[in-house]
Structure 1
Amino acid sequence: GAAPSVEETYPGGREVIWEAFLTNGIPEEAIRISMASISESSLRQYDCSLKKWWSFCVANKLSVYEAEVPDVIRFLSLEFEKGASYGSLNCIRSAISLILGPKIGKNERVRRFFRGLSRLRPSEPKYDSTWDPKIVLEFFKDLTNEDLSLDKLGKKLVTLLALVSGQRIQTLSLIDIRNIVIKEDLIEIKIPDRIKTSRPGAKQPLLVLPFYKEDPNICPARTLQWYLRRTKDLRGKNKPLFISFKKPFKKVSSQTLSRWLKDMLHKSSINTEIFSAHSTRHASTSAAKKKGVSMDVIRKSAGWTESSTTFARFYDRPIIQDLRLFGQAILED
């Protein structure tokens, strides 16, 4: 618990959290289990925050693991002055709470600081508007699945899945071909793996892909079936749906899928200097609402809880004009 010397270099987020658990009295044999509660994506986020906290403690000769609430507030204030957003500061607070314990997150002085922060620098939606999914679907109408190379077919499929499901790219990257159930008029995909919103008692995502008979070229279910055929002899024992289009045809990461999706948006004439791969979530949920899909269906399709205000605050964007109900609404004219 002693303050690190100036010579000490930052050991890494995982190591800092491990040491914090030891300092807080968690038995060493239980730390591995406790660490499993933190996802890899959260660890990456916390790493940046903890590195800043480490440097602050070194510069001010404070204990990284036993600092007091006023020290934390001073650190947050300095980050605020540097221009950190509400979301960034909230991430820092979560990271520091992980190593200093609940006295940070539950402290009234810290809570008051964040109430003031929400007025001075409120969390803002990333986009003021979004694009119409029809732009991408019109582009896809000329891309016949049978004629596409494997890389273009994979990119088309991940884009269609993102649009008709409203799910995050992370969720799509976890699709396992053993969890795909093909029915007469739709395809169901179960996601049993841990995702961003996983918690005890919460339902895991269920993706529902309608067979869109009006136009096979933009039908997500048919595109999925075609992709499965094309990759069957290439994937070997690989069970993840999305594999690389070059040898050795291994599973691709969510970052790779984001690049694939962004490439398709660019080819569809979506301005990718403004809109990221994640913008498909904004585009599809906003379009579904505009077409009269109920909030309950939108929330369930996109993976938000019944009490979630996320859609209203961040995703309900006006469209720039230029479960099956959700997907069908996106595909229909």
Structure 2
Amino acid sequence: MDNIRSVLNLLQDSSYLTSLDLKDAYLHVPIHLESQQFLRFAVVLEGESLKTISLRKAMALLGTITSSFPAIQWGQLHSRSLQSWILSKWDKHLSSLDKRVMIPWSVKQSLLWWTEPQHLSTGNLWEFPTQYIITTDASSWGWGAHLDSLTAQGQWSSRISNRSSNSRELQAVWEAILAFKIQIWKTHVTIRTDNSTVVAYINHQGGTRSKSLQQQASRILHWAERSLKSIKAVHLKGDTKLPSRLPEQMQSVPGRMESQRPGVSSVDRTLDCSSSGLIRQKEQCEMPDVLLSLSPRRTMGSRCLLDQLEPSQNVHFSASTFDFQSTEQNLSRPGGSNLDCPVLAKKTVVCSATTISYGSSDPSRSRGPVNSGTSGASQSEPSSSFSMEPEWRILKSKGFSNRLSETLLQSRKKVTRQIYSKAWRVYNNWCEANSRDTGHSNSVLEFLQDGFQKGLSSSTLKVQVSALTVFLDRKLAEEEDIIRFFKALRRIRPTIHSRVPSWDLNTVLQGLCEPPFEPLVDSSDKLLTIKTAFLLAITSARRVGELQALSILEPYCVISDDRITLRLDTSFLPKVVSKFHRSQEIFLPSFCNNPSNQKEQKLHCLDVRRCVLEYLQRTKSWRTSNALLVLFAGKFRGKQASKSTIARWIKQAISLSYAQQGKQLTSAVRAHSTRAVSTSWAERAGASVEQICKAATWSSQNTFVRHYRLDVLSSADLTFGRKVLQAVIPP
């Protein structure tokens, strides 16, 4: 049957007019609103249930959808789920076509896309223009890509390097579009690659031969649907010399430069970073080949390499190539060095600029936008995290725009969205393996029962219920059967909350009053930092994340004669984002400020105001961050400490105090336990529950009573026993 693709092959230059049957062209010819009712079509599956369908009817539906591909831009992409499901269920016998099978939730969600009028009425261009061309290449070692004069590259993780070449090439396309996403946002993009499989999977919007390649292509295409106007791929011959091409990793040979030598990183040889921050082509470079000595790169909590490299890590590059043929000739030279290979760069040749360069590449790790060095203006664009895709589809199925959907996705923290998405994937796989309907309450309960029998805790199961509530768009936690299920779990496997602290506050405070923590002027930077971090945690009862966000700048830090008042930076978002949680100040009072005897002198050692002032004075000469707690050693000395580092300092303060007094901890210590210990001892000392909740930013007293209050052996608990003992004493 003639279609748009066949017509395009017939058209030639200077063709002015052609005719086409209206039944094949009506999707492209604008139809008046009043006449659209006569040109509609619908697929009616008589007698079919929303839960099950015969394969014959499913194939008929797929055929109808397939006929619209030339007229609907992303139609082929949104048919792959149905197509793959049919292929997995059909055993190639005609007798099985009338067999009824259950429709998975993923297939239903993909079909919802076809119910949105804007997807069917937009139409499709005969030929999409090319605004940007991205050339990609991949090897077993890493990936590379270039866009005009910009180049990006990265090294594979061990998991990705063991994949097939087709998978690595598709992964290279994904890394490339993320690297250049600011430049290509809402444009027409062409991908050039020497892998024909990648070309086929992109141009055909997926495929059915390989499930893993289909998943990779689907991620690329779903991102392109939201973020680009169009994407296509063209094939390049394998012998074409590409700036993005990367060599395979070399064998370990004496005298040869290795791409993974400890402490040395080979520099991208296709770019020149000028001192002005602009990127130039390699023909403009005049300096000799160099290698740059690198220290371990900074990472965020998710272990992603920071996009912004240190200024000292940017160098000029030359256009000459490595001479790997002269290795054997140089083996006889002292040290086995290859004089034709690049030499280690000296600091005098390092210039300040920004390059596009990445480290190990992992699809599970998110990437930030690349700083091309050509513009300092920030650009706003929707998130590209593929973990949001199921929830994104649900929001789109409700008729929400892209902007509104992006806003609603931010209602939960990123880590929460990742946990929910993982729970949803596990649930869908379980339903498919057990032939169950994802939307039925019985399926949810059976899934929870299966998790319970595998040993999952009640809290984990509640997280799964919260995740399913999001994707099923139902308040599962309020359904009677779900409530009854968790009530039964509390009786079968009751949750045990330990009311005994895992460490003794008196022991730790006693250790902090003695050497090597005291006197402060003689303590090391490490011990002073550890003591300050612990006293901050114990006197404020705040989370580690809030301690990390504390600043030394006014008005966030106000030093008075009897206290230090700390306020959270307005840009910091606590765990609970509310006016109450963001407005609570932290007061660090002085303690025995004017000691008159030996006991008060010892108590004065626990003065948190005194510790903070000494800490600020000690770090003044080498601190490079406005954060209150900074690193005391290493290359990044003076920079802001991470949450994990602060937590480690708090635990070290406890363990060192125990070791100093010859005692041993009986159980593992968590930094978060300081909130429970400090508030429990404050209550014993006479602080009201209202004061405790305000200091610890708990909006409800139940939070303290149910989860944090510990038994610190208050005197009231001893009253009954003492009265009994007094009864046996003769008058």
> Same fold, TM exceeding 0.5?
yes
State which of 408, 424, 428 in structure 2 corresponds to 1:34: 408
Q: Residue 698 of structure 2 aligns with which residue?
A: 304
Q: Residue 148 of structure 1 aligns with which residue?
A: 523
Q: Secondary structure at the match of 1:235?
A: coil
What is the CA–CA distance in structure 2 between the aligned matches of 1:158 and 1:226, rounded to whole Å?
13
Q: Which has the higher contact order (CA 8 A, sep 6+)?
A: 1
State which of 634, 648, 651 in structure 2 corresponds to 1:262: 651
Report the AA paired with residue 274 of structure 1.
A
TM-score w.r.t. structure 2 length?
0.40
State which of 53, 57, 60 in structure 1 corresponds to 2:427: 53
What is the CA–CA distance in structure 2 between the aligned matches of 1:105 and 1:18, rounded to whole Å?
24
Q: Residue 113 of structure 1 aligns with which residue?
A: 485
Q: Residue 709 of structure 2 aligns with which residue?
A: 316
Report the AA paired with residue 77 of structure 1.
Q
State which of 211, 220, 240 in structure 1 corresponds to 2:590: 211
1:130–1:318: 8 Å Cα contact kept in structure 2?
A: no
How far the C-alpha of 1:203 sits from its partner, in A, is: 5.0
What is the CA–CA distance in structure 2 between the aligned matches of 1:106 and 1:72, rounded to whole Å?
13
| 1:242-286 per-position Cα deviation (integer Å, ceiling 9, x unaligned) | 222222232222111111111111111162733322221221111
How far the C-alpha of 1:43 sits from its partner, in A, is: 4.2
1:282–1:315: 8 Å Cα contact kept in structure 2?
A: yes
> Cα distance 1:116–1:129, how it changes in 2: closer, same or farther (>3 A)?
same
Q: Residue 235 of structure 1 aligns with which residue?
A: 623
> Cα distance 1:240–1:272, how it changes in 2: closer, same or farther (>3 A)?
farther
> Cα distance 1:235–1:96, how it changes in 2: closer, same or farther (>3 A)?
farther
Q: Residue 181 of structure 1 aligns with which residue?
A: 558
What is the CA–CA distance in structure 1 between the aligned matches of 2:614 and 2:626, rounded to whole Å?
16
What is the CA–CA distance in structure 2 between the aligned matches of 1:89 and 1:274, rounded to whole Å?
25
> Cα distance 1:42–1:20, how it changes in 2: closer, same or farther (>3 A)?
closer
Look at both structures and tell me which one has the larger radius of gyration over its CA atoms. Answer: 2
- Determine if the alignment matches structure 1 residue 124 to structure 2 residue 496: yes
Report the AA paired with residue 32 of structure 1.
E
How far the C-alpha of 1:211 sits from its partner, in A, is: 0.8
Report the AA paired with residue 100 of structure 1.
L
Structure 1 segment 65-76 matched on structure 2, within 5 A: 67-76=439-448
> Cα distance 1:207–1:138, how it changes in 2: closer, same or farther (>3 A)?
same
2:683–2:692: 8 Å Cα contact kept in structure 1?
A: yes
Q: Secondary structure at the match of 1:268?
A: helix
1:176–1:240: 8 Å Cα contact kept in structure 2?
A: yes
Deviates more, 1:241-250 or 1:9-18: 9-18
TM-score w.r.t. structure 1 length?
0.82
Q: Secondary structure at the match of 2:587?
A: strand
What is the CA–CA distance in structure 2 between the aligned matches of 1:70 and 1:255, rounded to whole Å?
41
CA RMSD of aligned residues (A): 3.1
Q: Residue 536 of structure 2 aligns with which residue?
A: 161
Q: Residue 328 of structure 1 aligns with which residue?
A: none
How far the C-alpha of 1:320 sits from its partner, in A, is: 7.0
How far the C-alpha of 1:140 sits from its partner, in A, is: 0.9
1:170–1:254: 8 Å Cα contact kept in structure 2?
A: yes
What is the CA–CA distance in structure 2 between the aligned matches of 1:124 and 1:195, rounded to whole Å?
28
Structure (1/2) with the larger helix percentage: 1
Q: Residue 614 of structure 2 aligns with which residue?
A: 226
1:12–1:47: 8 Å Cα contact kept in structure 2?
A: no
> Cα distance 1:318–1:33, how it changes in 2: closer, same or farther (>3 A)?
same
Report the AA paired with residue 540 of structure 2.
S
Q: Secondary structure at the match of 1:251?
A: coil
Deviates more, 1:196-205 or 1:215-224: 196-205
Report the AA paired with residue 265 of structure 1.
I
2:387–2:418: 8 Å Cα contact kept in structure 1?
A: no
What is the CA–CA distance in structure 2 between the aligned matches of 1:34 and 1:49, rounded to whole Å?
20
| 1:302-323 per-position Cα deviation (integer Å, ceiling 9, x unaligned) | 1111x331222222222279xx
What is the CA–CA distance in structure 1 between the aligned matches of 2:645 and 2:481, rounded to whole Å?
42
What is the CA–CA distance in structure 2 between the aligned matches of 1:47 and 1:58, rounded to whole Å?
17
Deviates more, 1:146-155 or 1:192-201: 192-201
- Determine if the alignment matches structure 1 residue 284 to structure 2 residue 683: no
1:18–1:31: 8 Å Cα contact kept in structure 2?
A: no
Q: Residue 77 of structure 1 aligns with which residue?
A: 449
| 1:276-304 per-position Cα deviation (integer Å, ceiling 9, x unaligned) | 22221221111111111111111111111
| 1:98-156 per-position Cα deviation (integer Å, ceiling 9, x unaligned) | 32224334433323322333333344325534433221111111213222222222211
Report the AA paired with residue 413 of structure 2.
S
State which of 542, 566, 574 in structure 2 corresponds to 1:195: 574
What is the CA–CA distance in structure 2 between the aligned matches of 1:67 and 1:264, rounded to whole Å?
50
State which of 635, 638, 662 in structure 2 corresponds to 1:247: 635
Q: Secondary structure at the match of 1:261?
A: helix
Q: Secondary structure at the match of 2:491?
A: helix
What is the CA–CA distance in structure 1 between the aligned matches of 2:549 and 2:446, rounded to whole Å?
40
Q: Secondary structure at the match of 1:124?
A: coil
> Cα distance 1:201–1:296, how it changes in 2: closer, same or farther (>3 A)?
closer
Q: Secondary structure at the match of 1:187?
A: strand
- Percent identity over the alignment is 27
What is the CA–CA distance in structure 1 between the aligned matches of 2:524 and 2:566, rounded to whole Å?
24
Q: Secondary structure at the match of 1:94?
A: helix
Deviates more, 1:258-267 or 1:244-253: 244-253
How far the C-alpha of 1:96 sits from its partner, in A, is: 2.4
What is the CA–CA distance in structure 2 between the aligned matches of 1:104 and 1:12, rounded to whole Å?
29
Q: Residue 170 of structure 1 aligns with which residue?
A: 545
Q: Secondary structure at the match of 2:605?
A: helix
What is the CA–CA distance in structure 1 between the aligned matches of 2:573 and 2:649, rounded to whole Å?
23
